[in-house]
Structures are given as C-alpha cells and as structure tokens.
Structure 1
C-alpha cells in the first residue's frame, strides 16, 4: 500500500526547491556581474600601468648613455665659441629695459617637474586631437623692447629667449620627413606653426612682417584654449654666465 503525500506538504517542498534554484541563479548572476566589474577595473589599471611603462621606457634598466651625450671638453669649446657673438650682441643692443648695459642670454633654467607636466599636457591634448607628437622643437625668439615681466621687471626687454612646441612628422614633396611644430585651435584642429605664426617670414626696417600673399599676418592675440606653445616653464629668466 502506497503512502499518500500530503498535497500541502508536497506544494511546500516544490516551492522551497524553486526558491532555492532562483536564489542560486541570482547569486550566480550577481557573482558574474561582480567578476566582470573587477575584470574591467583590472584592465583599466593595467592600461594605465602600461602607458606609464611606455613613457618611462627602460630608464631604470638601461645603463647606457644616450647617443646625444657630449663630453665637458666639447661643451666648453662650443660654449666659448659663442663669446664673440655675445660681445657683438651686447654692443649692438646697448642697454636693457632699465638702462643698464645689456647682457646677452647664455642660459635658461627649466624646472624638471614643470617640464614633465608640459610634456604630459601636450600628449593629453594631442591625443584628443588624434595626433601623436613626434618630438619637440625649440624656437629662438626675442622679447620686445617694451616687455615687462611680472608686471614690473623691465630688465628682460630685448633679451633672447625661446619657446617650445610639439612636432608633427610631415612628408615634403620629395618624400622626406620633416618634423614641423604645431599647436591646436579651440576645436582641437592641428595648426602648423609654419602657417600659424609665419616661421619663414621676415620683418622690415619699420617692423612690418613681409610675407607672400598667401600668408596673412595677424597681430591680434587670440584666446586659445588649446595652445601647445610654451615659454618660461617655471623657469629663471634668460641668464648670462650661469
């Protein structure tokens, strides 16, 4: 004789089993979601670490000197070869902004942290513009005769300086690679400095820019949110014999 299972008891058993299955399923789904979240976070961290490694290169492991290192003897030679030109510049310019004898620029100090900050800034802005800098170009320049630093210091008028811009690798008509300086407009469009500021232009005796008809020289200083051109990176003024 078969034992009859109580219908209520049977229903409770089935309901409990169903709840157990649903609970396990929800737990598995929750665990899976958490695992995927952790995987995404790990990938993001790995990406940051790999980028930092790429920027640092093998600095910590490579003990070899870079190819552009020169010896102090050669540095001494080329530094002092400039002495005669320095004397000529001092003689031609005559006086600085406060009437003292002019002293030509011979060096300029850049804070290493500020320089690295500038490089990171250029890479970040350029990445947003879809551009990868090929390097940096340093441009010799001259402060105007009415230049005032920090709203009061006139000593650096007519002093030589330089500004820095990242470069873009561009092929010329012959297929040769040229590394041309560039900046970005407010819409993150790349603008070559050859066109933006007229690098091959010349100034006549009256201070007017002379250039072919295709170039329009604009003296208005625009408010450029994405400029990549740098001057005075937390640096000392152009200095004499330092």
Structure 2
C-alpha cells in the first residue's frame, strides 16, 4: 500500500537553508567554538527509521497516558565533558520530546462520554515519555550545508 503524502507548507528553498546555516556558522558557531576551544557540532542526523519509530512510540505511549500526541519539540543540549561520551563530550546536540494535549473526560454518572464534553488541555510535553537523543553529529562534527 502506497503512502499518500502532501507537500509540507513549511518547506524552504535550498538557498534560504544555506543562508540560515551560514548565519549560524557566522553568528553562533564561531563564538561557541572560541568559547569551548574546540570545533563544535553544527548538525545532528537521525535516520528516517529512527524518527518514525520514535513518533510511533510517542503516539502509542502518549495515548496510554491520556494524551493526543500532536508534535515533536527539539531542544538544544550539550553533552557533559566526560570521557564516557567519547567524541561527543562537550559538544552540542539536539534531543526530541513529544508534545500533546491531555484529553480531559468529565465524570458522568453512567460513564458514557458524549464527544461534545471531551476537552483538551494546552500543548505540553508528555510526562513519563522519554526524550530521544543520540543522533550522529558526523566525524568531523563540522558540516556545511
């Protein structure tokens, strides 16, 4: 069965992507590398399979916790500067965490819930659902777009 896919509305041109990356390298990476006294990572890679697996996992676990999973939030992070992190020690990373809305089902006397009474909370990170990390930063870490 072939998956139907629509063109995402958030697509940007390759030219604009290159401009964004060059701006990062000019205004952030140089300062970071100077401060930490080594070349920092400027990209993180996850396979399609890893991302799809995390999305499926987040949807399933989120649903069990009473959430409608609706997105993935990307956070910037830095690995601890410890030997156990090997070549990633002290370098930038990103990690992902699922977001959603908690479904609030009002109590009724006969436990039948009309759909009109089901309300959702605001978007939030789903408690107890683990974030995902450990993408590849490449070797060496510097990549150019």
TM-score (norm 2): 0.73
Query: 1:124 matched to which residue of 2?
Result: 60
Which protein has greater RCO, CA pairs closer than 8 Å, 6+ apart? 2
Residues 67 and 126 of structure 2 are in contact (CA less than 8 Å); yes or no, is this contact kept in structure 1? Answer: no
* 2:86 counterpart of 1:158: no
Tell me, which stretches of 5 or more residues in structure 2 are unaligned?
103-120
- Report how far residue 168 of structure 1 moved: 2.2
Query: 1:183 matched to which residue of 2?
Result: 127
Query: 2:34 matched to which residue of 1?
Result: 91
* 2:5 counterpart of 1:73: no
1:212-227 correspondence runs (5 A): 227=129
Paired positions, count: 123
TM-score (norm 1): 0.46
- Report how far residue 115 of structure 1 moved: 1.2
Deviations 1:87-122 (A, max 9, x none): 11111101xxxxxxx112111111111211111111
Higher share of residues assigned strand: 2
Residues 165 and 181 of structure 1 are in contact (CA less than 8 Å); yes or no, is this contact kept in structure 2? Answer: yes
Root mean square deviation of aligned Cα:
2.4
Structure 2 distance, partners of 1:73, 1:115, is 25
Structure 1 distance, partners of 2:101, 2:73, is 12
- Report how far residue 231 of structure 1 moved: 0.6
Structure 1 distance, partners of 2:23, 2:14, is 14
Deviations 1:32-66 (A, max 9, x none): xxxxxxxxxxxxxxxxxxxx99xx5x32xx4xx21
Query: 1:240 matched to which residue of 2?
Result: 142
Residues 67 and 101 of structure 2 are in contact (CA less than 8 Å); yes or no, is this contact kept in structure 1? Answer: no
Deviations 1:50-83 (A, max 9, x none): xx99xx5x32xx4xx2111100111111111112
Residues 45 and 136 of structure 2 are in contact (CA less than 8 Å); yes or no, is this contact kept in structure 1? Answer: yes
Structure 2 distance, partners of 1:144, 1:79, is 25
Match of 2:51 among 94, 115, 125: 115
1:1-242 correspondence runs (5 A): 58-59=4-5, 62=6, 65-84=7-26, 85-94=28-37, 102-146=38-82, 148-149=84-85, 153=86, 155-169=87-101, 179-184=123-128, 227-232=129-134, 235-237=135-137, 239-242=141-144
Structure 2 distance, partners of 1:159, 1:179, is 30
